[in-house]
Amino acid sequence: MSWLPRLPGLTLPPQGRHPAPPSPVPGTVAASLFLAATFFVPLAPAQEYAGTEMCAACHEEIFTKFQKSAHKRIERKTEWTDQACETCHGPGAEHAASGDIALIKNPSKLDAGAGDRSCLACHQNQPSPAGRIRNGHAHSQVSCAECHTVHGTREELVDRRPVSVNKQCATCHMDAWVQFQRPHTHRLAQGAMSCTGCHNPHGTAAPSNLNLVAANEPGCLKCHGDKRGPFTFEHAPVRLEGCQSCHEPHGSANPRMLTRHEVRFQCLECHSNIGASAGVLGGVAPAFHDTRNPRFRNCTVCHVKIHGSHINRALLR
């Protein structure tokens, strides 16, 4: 600043520095204006909506599908009349004007968390999707759009036919699908039932997202109602651990889908004198039950009411 003339009484700051403005006196109008200028952050201008007709002009094929979709009902809500597309995709005026795909939101292209927030904005209060917070699908970053066709024409935006559901589940759960190739299984591979008959894809409070029926009983009893208790004389594993304590739900080498290939080995997991006292696991078979003898190798020949009985403590009838 050597080019400035030297004026009497003028004191210049050191080279490269500027004097700080004086702080306003607290409680004055100047102080209020100073704070407002310091902390005020201008709000971004509100984005404008393009309207359904504008969307349809470019995306005619998708719009035609949408008109047949279950999501079409969103237009019944007053706040989204003529803006149904932008319910999920956000305000689209800038996108419509420029054609820039970066200026419109596509939930199916977002990560699972961000994409699902669009869906849960409407579906949060419904029992099934709300249960998704307990589901492994959410923790594994599987989004709603992985299973549901958002512009689809089916009522639930998913093909509910067993063959289609099973194929879709098998793309991720290949280990479970392999179990259905065993000799004895539920007839899922043949399309007679679907994965969602037993599992809720949106999540439940039960392990493996199992469907629960009346009184929080396992979904097995929906089909196998003859095994439902309560019984006067209960078989402890049925009451304490459930069906999977003895059965493989997806498939087994045993005709009854037991976890062991022979009935006697299944029973001896509890009814033996190894590792537990008689009072814990129901007792040891009498001495004359010689399992080396073919006569005693199939326990259920005599203990026919293996799931529980009303008249016999030994489950003989």
Is there a domain that residue 200 lies in?
A: yes
Is there a domain that residue 117 lies in?
A: no
295, two tokens = 């006569």
Domain boundary among 189, 216, 243: 216
Both 88 and 167 in a single domain? no
Is there a domain that residue 38 lies in?
A: no
Q: In this predicted model, what pLDDT tens digit does every residue of 272-317 receive, in sequence order?
A: 766 554 555 567 777 778 877 888 888 888 999 999 999 998 889 8
Both 210 and 238 in a single domain? no
Both 198 and 246 in a single domain? no
pLDDT value at 14 more than 60: no
Is there a domain that residue 283 lies in?
A: yes
Is there a domain that residue 275 lies in?
A: yes
CA–CA dist 66, 80 (Å, integer):
15
Is there a domain that residue 29 lies in?
A: no
Q: In this predicted model, what pLDDT tens digit does every residue of 92-119 receive, in sequence order?
A: 999 999 989 889 988 888 887 788 888 8
Is there a domain that residue 12 lies in?
A: no
Domain that holds residue 92: 52-105
- The reply to whether the predicted model has a pTM over 0.95 is no
Taking CA atoms, 194 is separated from 59, 110, 161, 211, in Å, by 35, 29, 8, 13
18, two tokens = 């500027």
Strands 308-309, 233-234: pairing is antiparallel
Both 211 and 249 in a single domain? no
Domain count, the chain: 3
Is there a domain that residue 4 lies in?
A: no
